[in-house]
Amino acid sequence: MHYLGLSHHLVALNFIITNFDKKSAWSSGQVKVTDTDFDGVEVRVFEGPPKPEEPLKRSVVYIHGGGWALGSAKISYYDELCTAMAEELNAVIVSVEYRLVPKVYFPEQIHDVVRATKYFLQPEVLQKYSVDPGRIGISGDSAGGNLAAALGQQFNQDANLKNKLKVQALIYPVLQALDFNTPSYQQNVNTAILPRYVMVKYWVDYFKGNHDFIQAMIVNNHTSLDVEEAAALRARLNWTSLLPASITKHYKPVVQTMGNARIVQELPQLLDARSAPLIADQEVLRHLPKTYILTCEHDVLRDDGIMYAKRLESAGVEVTLDHFEDGFHGCMIFTRWPTNFSVGIRTRNSYIKWLDQNL
Protein backbone atom coordinates (compact mmCIF):
# COMPACT_ATOMS: atom_id res chain seq x y z
CA MET A 1 0.00 0.00 0.00
CA HIS A 2 1.43 3.37 -0.96
CA TYR A 3 2.01 5.88 1.83
CA LEU A 4 0.64 8.89 -0.01
CA GLY A 5 -2.77 7.27 0.07
CA LEU A 6 -2.76 7.34 3.86
CA SER A 7 -3.60 10.98 4.47
CA HIS A 8 -7.16 10.10 5.47
CA HIS A 9 -5.71 8.09 8.35
CA LEU A 10 -4.15 11.17 9.98
CA VAL A 11 -7.25 11.72 12.09
CA ALA A 12 -7.10 8.08 13.17
CA LEU A 13 -3.47 8.48 14.23
CA ASN A 14 -4.23 11.57 16.29
CA PHE A 15 -6.96 9.63 18.04
CA ILE A 16 -4.61 6.74 18.74
CA ILE A 17 -1.79 8.72 20.32
CA THR A 18 -4.07 11.00 22.31
CA ASN A 19 -6.49 8.27 23.35
CA PHE A 20 -7.49 9.07 26.92
CA ASP A 21 -8.85 5.58 27.53
CA LYS A 22 -5.57 4.12 28.64
CA LYS A 23 -5.59 0.40 28.98
CA SER A 24 -5.49 -0.93 32.53
CA ALA A 25 -2.74 -3.34 33.45
CA TRP A 26 -3.82 -6.84 32.56
CA SER A 27 -2.18 -10.21 32.27
CA SER A 28 -2.65 -12.86 29.59
CA GLY A 29 -1.89 -16.53 29.97
CA GLN A 30 1.62 -15.85 28.69
CA VAL A 31 2.50 -12.33 29.85
CA LYS A 32 2.17 -10.80 33.32
CA VAL A 33 1.55 -7.03 33.18
CA THR A 34 1.90 -4.73 36.20
CA ASP A 35 2.00 -0.97 36.77
CA THR A 36 4.52 0.27 39.31
CA ASP A 37 7.09 3.04 39.68
CA PHE A 38 10.88 2.98 39.49
CA ASP A 39 12.37 5.74 41.66
CA GLY A 40 9.23 7.84 41.29
CA VAL A 41 8.81 7.27 37.53
CA GLU A 42 5.75 5.33 36.40
CA VAL A 43 6.48 2.18 34.42
CA ARG A 44 4.47 -0.69 33.01
CA VAL A 45 6.31 -4.02 33.29
CA PHE A 46 5.60 -6.93 30.94
CA GLU A 47 7.00 -10.27 32.12
CA GLY A 48 7.19 -12.86 29.37
CA PRO A 49 6.98 -16.61 29.90
CA PRO A 50 10.12 -18.20 31.32
CA LYS A 51 12.15 -20.70 29.33
CA PRO A 52 12.94 -23.80 31.39
CA GLU A 53 16.50 -23.82 30.02
CA GLU A 54 16.99 -20.10 30.77
CA PRO A 55 16.23 -19.18 34.40
CA LEU A 56 17.19 -15.55 33.74
CA LYS A 57 15.37 -13.49 31.09
CA ARG A 58 16.47 -10.88 28.60
CA SER A 59 15.07 -7.37 29.03
CA VAL A 60 14.30 -4.22 27.05
CA VAL A 61 13.60 -0.76 28.48
CA TYR A 62 11.12 0.70 25.97
CA ILE A 63 10.35 4.41 25.45
CA HIS A 64 7.23 5.35 23.51
CA GLY A 65 7.03 8.07 20.85
CA GLY A 66 4.74 11.09 20.48
CA GLY A 67 6.88 14.22 20.03
CA TRP A 68 7.75 14.36 23.77
CA ALA A 69 4.15 15.57 24.22
CA LEU A 70 1.74 12.77 23.27
CA GLY A 71 1.32 9.04 23.75
CA SER A 72 1.59 6.75 26.74
CA ALA A 73 3.00 3.38 27.72
CA LYS A 74 -0.60 2.51 28.58
CA ILE A 75 -2.42 3.11 25.30
CA SER A 76 -3.35 -0.08 23.50
CA TYR A 77 -0.90 0.27 20.60
CA TYR A 78 2.18 0.40 22.84
CA ASP A 79 0.65 -2.03 25.32
CA GLU A 80 0.22 -4.57 22.52
CA LEU A 81 3.71 -3.97 21.10
CA CYS A 82 5.35 -4.57 24.48
CA THR A 83 3.17 -7.61 25.15
CA ALA A 84 4.27 -9.11 21.81
CA MET A 85 7.92 -8.36 22.62
CA ALA A 86 7.65 -9.95 26.06
CA GLU A 87 5.98 -13.08 24.69
CA GLU A 88 8.10 -13.58 21.57
CA LEU A 89 11.42 -12.81 23.28
CA ASN A 90 10.59 -14.51 26.60
CA ALA A 91 11.68 -11.19 28.04
CA VAL A 92 10.89 -8.54 30.63
CA ILE A 93 9.86 -5.28 28.94
CA VAL A 94 9.89 -2.09 31.01
CA SER A 95 7.79 0.57 29.27
CA VAL A 96 8.50 4.00 30.74
CA GLU A 97 5.63 6.43 31.36
CA TYR A 98 7.82 9.55 31.32
CA ARG A 99 6.28 12.99 31.87
CA LEU A 100 5.24 14.98 28.80
CA VAL A 101 5.05 18.54 27.46
CA PRO A 102 3.45 20.80 28.75
CA LYS A 103 3.81 19.31 32.22
CA VAL A 104 7.61 19.27 31.84
CA TYR A 105 10.13 20.32 29.19
CA PHE A 106 13.63 19.32 28.10
CA PRO A 107 15.62 17.80 29.75
CA GLU A 108 13.08 16.43 32.24
CA GLN A 109 11.92 13.67 29.87
CA ILE A 110 15.52 12.42 29.69
CA HIS A 111 15.85 12.60 33.47
CA ASP A 112 12.73 10.44 33.90
CA VAL A 113 14.01 7.78 31.51
CA VAL A 114 17.50 7.76 33.04
CA ARG A 115 16.13 7.59 36.58
CA ALA A 116 13.82 4.66 35.80
CA THR A 117 16.54 2.76 33.93
CA LYS A 118 19.15 3.27 36.65
CA TYR A 119 16.68 1.96 39.22
CA PHE A 120 15.91 -1.09 37.08
CA LEU A 121 19.62 -1.90 36.67
CA GLN A 122 20.12 -2.30 40.43
CA PRO A 123 21.08 -5.94 41.16
CA GLU A 124 18.23 -6.47 43.61
CA VAL A 125 15.65 -5.17 41.11
CA LEU A 126 16.99 -7.31 38.28
CA GLN A 127 16.91 -10.28 40.63
CA LYS A 128 13.27 -9.57 41.52
CA TYR A 129 12.32 -9.79 37.83
CA SER A 130 14.74 -12.67 37.08
CA VAL A 131 16.63 -10.59 34.52
CA ASP A 132 20.10 -11.44 33.21
CA PRO A 133 22.23 -8.29 33.86
CA GLY A 134 24.27 -9.00 30.73
CA ARG A 135 21.27 -9.06 28.37
CA ILE A 136 19.54 -5.69 28.73
CA GLY A 137 18.74 -3.31 25.89
CA ILE A 138 17.26 0.17 25.45
CA SER A 139 14.77 0.96 22.70
CA GLY A 140 12.21 3.50 21.56
CA ASP A 141 10.37 4.91 18.56
CA SER A 142 10.39 8.47 17.19
CA ALA A 143 10.80 10.84 20.18
CA GLY A 144 11.26 7.69 22.28
CA GLY A 145 14.13 6.74 19.97
CA ASN A 146 15.60 10.17 20.66
CA LEU A 147 15.40 9.60 24.41
CA ALA A 148 16.86 6.08 24.05
CA ALA A 149 19.82 7.44 22.05
CA ALA A 150 20.37 10.19 24.61
CA LEU A 151 20.29 7.66 27.43
CA GLY A 152 22.75 5.41 25.60
CA GLN A 153 25.21 8.27 25.21
CA GLN A 154 24.81 9.37 28.83
CA PHE A 155 25.40 5.85 30.15
CA ASN A 156 28.44 5.49 27.88
CA GLN A 157 30.07 8.48 29.59
CA ASP A 158 29.41 7.19 33.11
CA ALA A 159 32.03 4.73 34.38
CA ASN A 160 29.44 3.11 36.66
CA LEU A 161 26.97 2.54 33.83
CA LYS A 162 29.21 1.92 30.83
CA ASN A 163 28.65 -1.50 29.24
CA LYS A 164 25.44 -2.01 31.22
CA LEU A 165 23.42 -2.06 27.99
CA LYS A 166 24.00 -4.85 25.48
CA VAL A 167 22.08 -3.24 22.59
CA GLN A 168 20.16 -0.14 21.57
CA ALA A 169 17.32 -0.32 19.03
CA LEU A 170 16.07 2.97 17.59
CA ILE A 171 12.86 3.05 15.54
CA TYR A 172 12.62 6.01 13.11
CA PRO A 173 14.35 8.20 15.73
CA VAL A 174 14.41 12.01 15.73
CA LEU A 175 18.06 12.93 16.29
CA GLN A 176 18.77 16.54 15.30
CA ALA A 177 17.23 20.00 15.00
CA LEU A 178 19.97 21.84 13.08
CA ASP A 179 18.88 21.00 9.53
CA PHE A 180 15.22 20.79 8.55
CA ASN A 181 16.17 20.50 4.88
CA THR A 182 17.82 17.11 4.67
CA PRO A 183 16.67 15.17 1.58
CA SER A 184 14.03 13.35 3.63
CA TYR A 185 12.69 16.62 5.07
CA GLN A 186 12.52 18.04 1.54
CA GLN A 187 11.01 14.90 0.05
CA ASN A 188 8.39 14.41 2.76
CA VAL A 189 7.69 18.04 3.67
CA ASN A 190 3.91 17.66 3.52
CA THR A 191 3.37 13.96 4.12
CA ALA A 192 0.67 12.90 6.52
CA ILE A 193 1.28 11.86 10.14
CA LEU A 194 4.52 13.87 10.49
CA PRO A 195 4.88 16.81 8.07
CA ARG A 196 7.91 19.06 8.57
CA TYR A 197 5.98 21.90 10.22
CA VAL A 198 4.64 19.54 12.89
CA MET A 199 8.11 18.14 13.66
CA VAL A 200 9.60 21.63 14.01
CA LYS A 201 6.71 22.60 16.28
CA TYR A 202 7.39 19.54 18.46
CA TRP A 203 11.00 20.71 18.84
CA VAL A 204 10.02 24.27 19.78
CA ASP A 205 7.45 23.01 22.29
CA TYR A 206 10.00 20.55 23.78
CA PHE A 207 12.18 23.57 24.60
CA LYS A 208 9.23 25.76 25.69
CA GLY A 209 10.18 28.08 22.84
CA ASN A 210 8.45 30.80 20.85
CA HIS A 211 6.26 29.62 17.97
CA ASP A 212 7.37 32.72 16.05
CA PHE A 213 10.66 30.86 15.46
CA ILE A 214 9.07 27.96 13.54
CA GLN A 215 9.03 29.47 10.06
CA ALA A 216 12.62 30.71 10.38
CA MET A 217 13.77 27.28 11.57
CA ILE A 218 12.03 25.55 8.66
CA VAL A 219 14.40 27.37 6.25
CA ASN A 220 17.43 26.79 8.53
CA ASN A 221 17.76 30.42 9.59
CA HIS A 222 18.70 29.20 13.08
CA THR A 223 21.91 27.56 11.78
CA SER A 224 22.94 30.08 9.11
CA LEU A 225 26.61 30.75 8.41
CA ASP A 226 26.58 33.82 10.67
CA VAL A 227 25.45 31.79 13.70
CA GLU A 228 28.85 30.97 15.16
CA GLU A 229 27.52 28.60 17.81
CA ALA A 230 26.25 26.22 15.11
CA ALA A 231 29.33 26.32 12.86
CA ALA A 232 31.35 23.60 14.59
CA LEU A 233 28.39 21.25 14.77
CA ARG A 234 27.23 21.64 11.19
CA ALA A 235 29.96 19.33 9.88
CA ARG A 236 28.70 16.49 12.07
CA LEU A 237 25.52 16.28 10.03
CA ASN A 238 26.87 17.17 6.61
CA TRP A 239 24.47 14.98 4.70
CA THR A 240 26.26 15.44 1.39
CA SER A 241 29.00 13.20 2.81
CA LEU A 242 26.99 11.10 5.29
CA LEU A 243 24.21 10.01 2.91
CA PRO A 244 24.58 7.82 -0.19
CA ALA A 245 23.76 9.17 -3.65
CA SER A 246 20.66 6.97 -3.76
CA ILE A 247 19.29 9.08 -0.90
CA THR A 248 20.59 12.56 -1.76
CA LYS A 249 19.31 12.32 -5.37
CA HIS A 250 18.76 15.83 -6.78
CA TYR A 251 18.34 17.56 -3.41
CA LYS A 252 20.56 20.52 -2.51
CA PRO A 253 21.64 21.68 0.96
CA VAL A 254 19.85 24.73 2.35
CA VAL A 255 22.49 26.89 4.03
CA GLN A 256 21.59 30.50 4.73
CA THR A 257 24.34 33.15 4.71
CA MET A 258 22.43 35.43 7.06
CA GLY A 259 19.91 34.14 9.54
CA ASN A 260 18.49 34.71 13.00
CA ALA A 261 21.12 34.29 15.71
CA ARG A 262 18.50 35.05 18.36
CA ILE A 263 16.91 31.62 17.95
CA VAL A 264 19.97 29.68 19.16
CA GLN A 265 20.64 32.31 21.83
CA GLU A 266 17.14 31.83 23.25
CA LEU A 267 17.07 28.07 22.60
CA PRO A 268 20.62 26.82 23.23
CA GLN A 269 19.06 23.39 23.75
CA LEU A 270 19.00 23.07 19.95
CA LEU A 271 22.78 22.57 20.06
CA ASP A 272 22.77 20.22 23.06
CA ALA A 273 23.67 16.61 22.23
CA ARG A 274 21.22 15.44 24.88
CA SER A 275 18.42 16.71 22.65
CA ALA A 276 20.22 16.00 19.37
CA PRO A 277 22.29 12.80 19.77
CA LEU A 278 23.40 12.99 16.13
CA ILE A 279 25.69 15.95 16.91
CA ALA A 280 27.55 14.27 19.79
CA ASP A 281 31.36 14.18 19.79
CA GLN A 282 32.91 11.22 18.00
CA GLU A 283 34.48 10.14 21.27
CA VAL A 284 31.02 9.89 22.87
CA LEU A 285 29.91 7.54 20.10
CA ARG A 286 32.80 5.14 20.57
CA HIS A 287 31.95 2.01 22.55
CA LEU A 288 28.19 2.51 22.30
CA PRO A 289 26.44 -0.86 22.29
CA LYS A 290 25.51 -2.80 19.19
CA THR A 291 22.84 -0.75 17.44
CA TYR A 292 19.73 -1.34 15.34
CA ILE A 293 18.19 1.61 13.48
CA LEU A 294 14.93 1.27 11.54
CA THR A 295 14.19 3.94 8.95
CA CYS A 296 11.27 4.54 6.59
CA GLU A 297 11.36 6.06 3.11
CA HIS A 298 8.24 8.18 3.62
CA ASP A 299 9.40 9.94 6.77
CA VAL A 300 11.01 13.33 7.39
CA LEU A 301 13.23 11.60 9.98
CA ARG A 302 14.64 9.00 7.57
CA ASP A 303 17.97 10.80 7.15
CA ASP A 304 18.44 11.41 10.88
CA GLY A 305 18.59 7.64 11.33
CA ILE A 306 20.78 6.97 8.28
CA MET A 307 23.28 9.68 9.27
CA TYR A 308 23.46 8.36 12.84
CA ALA A 309 24.14 4.86 11.52
CA LYS A 310 26.99 6.25 9.41
CA ARG A 311 28.50 8.22 12.30
CA LEU A 312 28.26 5.20 14.62
CA GLU A 313 29.94 2.97 12.04
CA SER A 314 32.74 5.53 11.68
CA ALA A 315 33.17 5.37 15.47
CA GLY A 316 33.56 1.59 15.35
CA VAL A 317 30.07 0.64 16.54
CA GLU A 318 28.38 -2.42 15.02
CA VAL A 319 25.21 -1.13 13.34
CA THR A 320 22.27 -2.71 11.52
CA LEU A 321 20.38 -0.19 9.37
CA ASP A 322 16.96 -1.65 8.50
CA HIS A 323 15.33 0.51 5.81
CA PHE A 324 11.77 0.04 4.55
CA GLU A 325 11.04 1.53 1.13
CA ASP A 326 7.28 1.41 1.75
CA GLY A 327 7.53 2.46 5.38
CA PHE A 328 6.02 5.63 6.86
CA HIS A 329 6.53 7.36 10.18
CA GLY A 330 4.80 5.53 13.00
CA CYS A 331 4.04 2.43 10.95
CA MET A 332 5.37 -0.11 13.46
CA ILE A 333 2.47 0.37 15.86
CA PHE A 334 -0.13 -0.10 13.09
CA THR A 335 -0.54 -3.85 13.29
CA ARG A 336 -4.21 -4.33 14.10
CA TRP A 337 -7.55 -3.49 12.52
CA PRO A 338 -8.53 -0.90 11.34
CA THR A 339 -4.94 0.32 10.91
CA ASN A 340 -3.29 -3.04 10.26
CA PHE A 341 -0.81 -2.27 7.50
CA SER A 342 1.44 -4.88 5.93
CA VAL A 343 4.48 -2.68 6.52
CA GLY A 344 3.51 -2.28 10.18
CA ILE A 345 3.58 -6.05 10.66
CA ARG A 346 6.81 -6.42 8.66
CA THR A 347 8.66 -3.67 10.57
CA ARG A 348 7.59 -5.09 13.92
CA ASN A 349 8.61 -8.61 12.95
CA SER A 350 12.00 -7.41 11.66
CA TYR A 351 12.62 -5.41 14.83
CA ILE A 352 11.72 -8.28 17.16
CA LYS A 353 13.77 -10.73 15.07
CA TRP A 354 16.86 -8.50 15.42
CA LEU A 355 16.36 -8.30 19.18
CA ASP A 356 15.95 -12.07 19.35
CA GLN A 357 19.22 -12.60 17.49
CA ASN A 358 21.28 -9.95 19.26
CA LEU A 359 20.01 -9.50 22.82
71-121 pLDDT tens trace: 999 999 999 999 999 999 999 999 999 999 999 999 999 999 999 999 999
Q: Do both 266 and 172 map to the same domain?
A: no
Check pLDDT > 80 for residue 2.
no
From CA 307, how far away is CA 180, in angstroms rounded?
14
pLDDT of residue 201: 98
Check pLDDT > 90 for residue 329.
yes
Percent of the chain beyond pLDDT 90? 85
Note the pTM of the prediction, 2 decimals: 0.94
Q: Do both 242 and 208 map to the same domain?
A: yes
Check pLDDT > 80 for residue 68.
yes
Q: Do both 30 and 137 map to the same domain?
A: yes
Q: Do both 266 and 290 map to the same domain?
A: no
pLDDT of residue 14: 52
Check pLDDT > 80 for residue 17.
no
Point out the catalytic residue in the list 95, 142, 184, 224.
142
The CA–CA distances, whole Å, from 79 to 84, 188, 294, 339 equal: 9, 29, 20, 16
Percent of the chain beyond pLDDT 70? 93
| 217 within some domain | yes
Sheet holding 41-47, edge to edge: 32-38, 41-47, 91-96, 57-63, 131-141, 167-171, 290-298, 319-328
Point out the catalytic residue in the list 299, 303, 304, 322.
299
pLDDT in tens, 18-51: 444 576 777 667 999 999 999 999 999 999 998 8
pLDDT of residue 24: 74
- Is 173 buried (19+), middle (13-18) or exposed (0-12) by CB count in 10 A? buried
DSSP of 92-105: EEEEE----TTT--
**9 flagged as catalytic:** no
User: How do beta strands 32-38 and 41-47 pair?
Assistant: antiparallel
**Which of 228, 253, 271 is at the close of a domain?**
271
Q: What is the mean pLDDT of residues 303-314?
A: 98
pLDDT of residue 8: 36
Q: Do both 61 and 158 map to the same domain?
A: yes
Q: What is the CB neighbour count within 10 angstroms for residue 15? A: 10
Q: Do both 49 and 147 map to the same domain?
A: yes
| 34 within some domain | yes
**205 flagged as catalytic:** no
| 190 within some domain | no
pLDDT of residue 320: 98
pLDDT of residue 21: 59
What does the mean pLDDT of the chain come to?
92
pLDDT of residue 9: 36
Domain count, the chain: 2
**8 flagged as catalytic:** no
**Which of 223, 246, 271 is at the close of a domain?**
271
> Which residues contact residue 77 at a Cβ distance below 8 angstroms, ignoring those fewer than 6 apart?
16, 17, 333, 334
pLDDT of residue 246: 95
**Strand blocks (E) in the chain:** 32-38, 41-47, 57-63, 91-96, 131-141, 167-171, 290-298, 319-328
User: Quick one: which of 212, 110, 89, 92 has its CA closest to 155?
Assistant: 110
Supply the angle between the helices 76-89 and 342-358 in degrees, to the nearest 10.
40
Candidate from 141-145, 230-234, 322-326 with smallest mean pLDDT: 230-234
Check pLDDT > 80 for residue 195.
yes
> Sorting pLDDT into bands at 50, 70 and 90, what band is 1?
very low
Q: Do both 290 and 141 map to the same domain?
A: yes
With the C-alpha atoms ordered 10, 12, 18, 23, is the resulting torsion angle positive or negative? negative
Check pLDDT > 60 for residue 12.
no
Q: What is the mean pLDDT of residues 218-224?
A: 97
Q: Do both 59 and 172 map to the same domain?
A: yes
| 238 within some domain | yes
Q: Do both 264 and 284 map to the same domain?
A: no
pLDDT in tens, 252-273: 999 999 999 999 999 999 999 9
pLDDT of residue 6: 36
Q: Do both 260 and 354 map to the same domain?
A: no
Candidate from 160-174, 225-239, 300-314, 340-354 with smallest mean pLDDT: 225-239
Q: Do both 46 and 167 map to the same domain?
A: yes
pLDDT of residue 308: 98
Q: Do 99 and 79 meet the contact criterion of CB atoms below 8 Å apart?
A: no
> Domain span at residue 74?
13-177+278-358
